[in-house]
Amino acid sequence: MRVRRPLGGVLGPGLGDIGQSLAALSLSVVASLVAGLTLAAFESDLASFPGLLLFVPPAIGLRGNVFGPLGGRLSTSIQTGTFAWSWRPDSLLGQNLVSSMVTSMAAALVLAGLAEVVTLFVLDTQNPIGLADFIVVSVLGGALASVVVVAITMALTLGSVRFGWDLDNVTAPMVTAAGDIVTLPTLVFAARFIDRGGLTTTMAWIAVVACLASMAPLAVASMATARRIVGETLPVLCAAGLLSLLAGVAVERNKAEFLSFTVLLVLLPGYLTTAGALGGILSNRLGTKFHLGLIDAGRRPRGAALDDMRSTLVLALPIFLLLGVVVGLAATWGDHSTPGFGLLIGVVMTAGLVSTAVVALVAYYGTLLVVRFGLDPDNHGIPIVTATIDVVGAVTLVGALLLWGVA
């Protein structure tokens, strides 16, 4: 069967792949609006608890960094014919689920510690929230969100098997959007338990014990695959979390602008999600094609890799325009302060296209580096891309605000 390629293949993958990606990205943009409105409604808490806004980018990114690679691994197993619906803990699917939940809990705990260090020594904020507060928000909020996001990932996998969807095209945008929608409300809920003295300390200790207990299944001899996944992904997730926290520093230091124009709080989750989802789609495609031997590991991207990078840049144009329009309309209807519809579109398009160009290069060379070290690109591609886009995205967004005279 011939694959329909627009403009003779200049845009890369066939129309079916582009259609799946556009549909998933569009749903992601609309869904991320819920997360943005939640963050804007959380404005008073952000002002009351110094350091909490710093935590937003890594908290948004962590769910996608954990469950995006889960979708990538399942996509590869489907396309290589090794996937089977078996819920036994030591099966391929079972070990992937166990390892994802373990890394989600462990990374949340490490992220809380890193957030405290960055808040004290990098951000230099007066009276920031403490370590116990970060642990409660990160672990409690993250655990509640993970249960929902893993169910959505399994639903996408079922749809891929039954309806022939390509998980590489839909997992990154849908999982990251689901992570945004679910994570921010759960973080808001968990934040109700911070700054409560003894209660917060007790809950923090319970969270630490729960994280340690979640690792118990890894001790079973038959869980070798799960141990390998955790061993490969947890260091990358911790490094990605640190980079995301540094991105949060840029946001926290410009908190006055974000609180002056509350539309920017509505925009922030969707902007980071959209840029990360574009990079995630590219990373998943490259990872699968490396596994299938369809891409040569060359210093310059060419062939199928170059096609995928081009298509990612083309996808960015309508998706970031849609994001700007949706956020602008939401700001108008929700009576959020805004610098103006035209300026908002200019900021989103400028920051979005620059960040997408950077993340396309990072996705290719990051995947190439991972493959050359003999590691699984499905485990490392999305965390590398997401961490990069958190830093690049935050910097380009602040830079675009300055360029357009908004900040």
More confident residue, 338 or 204: 204
**Averaged pLDDT for residues 321-328:** 92
Cα–Cα nearest to 183, from 151, 212, 131, 142: 142
**Averaged pLDDT for residues 48-63:** 77
- Cβ partners under 8 Å of residue 374, min gap 6: none
**Averaged pLDDT for residues 181-187:** 82
pLDDT band at 8 (very low <50, low <70, confident <90, very high): very low
Decide if 56 is inside a domain. yes
Per-residue model confidence (pLDDT) at position 16 = 58
pLDDT > 90 in the chain, percent: 21
Q: 354, 389 in Cβ contact below 8 A? A: no
Cβ atoms within 10 Å of 241's Cβ, excluding its own: 30
pLDDT digits (tens, 9 = 90+) for 326-378: 999 988 887 788 888 999 999 999 999 999 999 888 888 888 888 777 777 77
Decide if 1 is inside a domain. no
Q: What is the CA radius of gyration of the chain?
A: 20
Please return the burial class of 225, using the count of CB atoms within 10 Å of its CB with bins 0-12, 13-18 and 19+.
middle
**Averaged pLDDT for residues 247-269:** 76
pLDDT band at 199 (very low <50, low <70, confident <90, very high): very high
Cα–Cα nearest to 110, from 65, 147, 168: 65
pLDDT digits (tens, 9 = 90+) for 208-220: 999 999 999 998 8
pLDDT at 6 exceeding the cut of 60? no
**Averaged pLDDT for residues 260-270:** 82
pLDDT digits (tens, 9 = 90+) for 60-81: 778 877 887 887 788 778 777 7
**Averaged pLDDT for residues 26-36:** 79
Number of compact structural domains in the chain: 1
- Domain range for 343 is 6-403
Per-residue model confidence (pLDDT) at position 168 = 66
**Averaged pLDDT for residues 111-119:** 89
Per-residue model confidence (pLDDT) at position 172 = 62
- Cβ partners under 8 Å of residue 299, min gap 6: none
pLDDT digits (tens, 9 = 90+) for 123-153: 766 677 889 999 999 999 889 989 888 888 8
